[in-house]
Structure 1
Amino acid sequence: MNISVLGCGRWGSFLAYYCNSVGHNVTLWGRKNSRNFNALKLHRKNEYLILPDEILLSNSLEDSFGTADVIIISISSQELRGFAKKLNLIDNKEDKIFVLCMKGLEASSGSRLTRVFKEEMGNNINVAVWVGPGHVQDFVSGIPNCMVIDSENIDITKRLVNILSSDLIRFYYGQDLIGNEIGAASKNVIGIAAGMLDGLGYTSLKGALMARGTREISRLVGAMGGNSITIYGLSHLGDYEATLFSEHSHNRKFGEEFVKNKKFNKLAEGVSTIKALIELSKQYDIELPICNALYRVIFENADVSGTLINLFLRPLKFEF
């Protein structure tokens, strides 16, 4: 099968590497002046992996688009709408399967990424998400994990699982697109909070954070019409180890560096997702205490230690 991966950062380059390893013809697209793409073009490697010679590198969206049966997109969540507008100018979209591999929400609207994509590409587009735990550094070392593929069309979900499964990644069929998208995005927010607790020396509170984080997001998913139980699956709770504890997690590291007044130069999708979740909390009238606390700390310069400690020492209430 012909697969094109659009986006050549840490995750995109791995997706191309992985799809090639399970027997597909792969094209990896990157922007012409992209530092990541130029490094791959010159050396066939980045700090995480070496690209096999069979993977074709391209700067042409039209060429990458034209021959592909499956198009995997791995770019910044906040760039998706503009990127989809460009893709919409290319013909023969309806016979492709698009797979979104970003874990985020549109900050300005709170919209799920599949909704953003369909708003720009049309409702007849076949679009799925690929979410769940796993770091490039672990995968390229041969450490396996479990992930989820979900879409509104179970036949598309099953087809993708069948062509992508391997001993390295065991895929599960997703059955709740709302829950899996919100869960995958919001676990990055909980990851930022975990990093802040690490930076403050309050690591022992991460257990409470995990328990309350899942409850908070499950209420939101239920209000949005999804299955609140999905949050206890791979897209959210199942990704906590990789996000709340791993040294490889950009979101956890951002939180830790933030409380130490250090600048973090890599993409932490959870920062924009905080804004999106605050927007959703207003739309659905759902209280999101952790998200609100992080918003006050990051965007309103509230005291980090006092705000987070007060979060866990709120007035007495029943747990459930």
Structure 2
Amino acid sequence: MLVSLMKGVELGSAMRMSEVIEDVTEVGADRVAVVTGPNLAREIAARMPAAAVVACTDEAVARRLQAACHTPYFRPYTNTDVIGCELGGAVKNVIGLAVGIADGMGLGDNAKGSLITRGLAETTRLGVALGADPLTFSGLAGLGDLVATCSSPLSRNHTFGTNLGRGMTLEETIAATQQTAEGVKSCESVLDLARRHEVDMPITETVFEIVHEGKPPVVAVKELMSRSAKPERR
């Protein structure tokens, strides 16, 4: 059994992390498991209560890993939807950057709630296009991880975004951030994956424009808010 704790999409190939493992090791998907969810490392290290998802296409493998890592403070659930679980963990880093930028700009809690909700919607759209179960995104690997990332000062992506929203350049923000903010690179690879499958992800695209194309956050927010109106379930 091989266990992935990585949350991201590979640049260039647009492969999920379990797919990278399968490609490099030449093992079947039924031997690769993914552990994901609202798992801020410092809290888990302090043995604070947390839940997670153990995902594998082979449910027996998922249950075996579940039993191995179940503790009084760490409660894992199983899921066979590896695609949905991995996408939830990858895209939430990008949405975490967006929420951090909004917080840094002082845009308020309405903006934060809107970004989290619409961010979850575009994550779900991408997941469904790739064959994921949409219900996965309402669980720990989707909404749970997203809320933790977008609301905690322990979130590297949220902190990184906050510094950008306060007016720091990308270089200044990287220098001030001593840990890796996965969303900085993930926004590029997630957007690539979305375009390959013709999925509209405006928040992800906006984050990419701010981080990699130098678009001022004030301009990016104005453009995002002025997009054409449409029904919510799209």
Q: Structure 1-normalised TM-score?
A: 0.67
Output aligned runs, 1:1-320, within 5 Å.
97-124=1-28, 126-204=31-109, 205-259=111-165, 260-261=167-168, 262-263=172-173, 264-320=177-233
- Give, as a single letter, the amino acid of the residue that structure 1 aligns with 2:11: A
Q: Is the Cα contact below 8 Å between 1:186 and 1:236 reproduced in 2?
A: no
- Give, as a single letter, the amino acid of the residue that structure 2 aligns with 1:236: G
Greater displacement, 237-246 / 212-221 = 237-246
Q: Unpaired segments of 5 or more residues in structure 2?
A: none
How far is the alpha carbon of 1:313 from its aligned partner? Answer: 3.6
1:31 equivalent in structure 2: none
What percent of counterpart residues are identical? 31
Matched position secondary structure for 1:99? strand
Equivalents in 2 of 1:309, 1:134: separation in Å? Answer: 33
How far is the alpha carbon of 1:137 from its aligned partner? Answer: 2.5
Q: Structure 2-normalised TM-score?
A: 0.91
Q: Unpaired segments of 5 or more residues in structure 1?
A: 1-96
Give 1 or 2: higher helix fraction: 2
Shift in CA distance, 309/175, structure 1 to aligned 2, threshold 3 Å:
farther
Q: Which runs of 4+ in 1 moved over 4 A?
A: none
Task: Report the count of equivalent residues.
Answer: 224
1:30 equivalent in structure 2: none
Equivalents in 2 of 1:314, 1:188: separation in Å? Answer: 23
Which has more radius of gyration?
A: 1
Matched position secondary structure for 1:315? coil
Q: Is the Cα contact below 8 Å between 1:108 and 1:275 reproduced in 2?
A: no
Q: Which structure has the higher relative contact order (CA within 8 Å, separation 6+)?
A: 2
Over the aligned positions, Cα root-mean-square deviation in angstroms equals: 1.4
Equivalents in 1 of 2:39, 2:131: separation in Å? Answer: 27
Matched position secondary structure for 2:51? strand
How far is the alpha carbon of 1:314 from its aligned partner? Answer: 2.0
